[in-house]
Structure 1
Amino acid sequence: MTFRPRPTPASIRPTGQRGVTLLGLVFWAVVISMTALVAMRVLPTINEFATIKRIVTKIAAEGGSTVPEIRAAFERAKNIEYSIQSISGKDLDVTKDNDRVVVSFAYDKEIELFGPVSLLIKYRGRSQ
């Protein structure tokens, strides 16, 4: 009869333990959930900014000749687009640059995250 020694824990697992501890799991869960919260709150405001920029560029290209005409065209487009709530036609700055109409706008958007913590985004844009 041949004698075999019992395997020791070191010989069973020569590479050591692998995996995530409970503390590591909680840490990553908090990081991922905070990132998702910020993304869910910020993405609608980015969509609103892109819509405003698209409308302003379209209005400047179509060529309204007076400031009231451009502002009225923006208000008509705003009534069609449901996502625009942060700006109105009176907030547009209309100028001329080398016989070309340039429409610019600027507004601040404050997003409440939780409790007293808020995120302030300053949007600025102009027609091409």
Structure 2
Amino acid sequence: MSSEAVTVHIFRHAAFAPAGDTLVTVAPVACATIAYGAAGLADAFGGSALFENRNSGEKWVGVWGARNGARFRRRLRQFFTLSVEKSAPDARLALYTTRRGNRPDYRAWATDHARQTTG
């Protein structure tokens, strides 16, 4: 686990549901890549959102939904100490991906990923 705190942002965003108040959780792209590997969040959650500050070049990636956000943070805590900001990062939604059809089985993903990282 890294001793440096990684900032995770939790905020509401209008892009993911008709009500316009979906909870979104994002972390720096490099941190999410360490925690979720090259397959990324799309394999673990069935989708992801990328927020970008074009002036600074900073990028955050994450998931929407309260339960997905909790799972996302739990996994990040295995690698980093988290500092939670309850506000959006200084960035705009650049893109989001979602898979049609069935959502991935989180337990199956976690089991497969554990096998890949332990040997």
Fold-level match, TM-score > 0.5? no
Higher relative contact order (CA 8 A, sep 6+): 2
Q: Greater helix share, 1 or 2?
A: 1
The structure with more strand, counted as a fraction of residues: 2
- Provide TM-score, normalisation by structure 2: 0.24
TM-score (normalizing by structure 1):
0.23
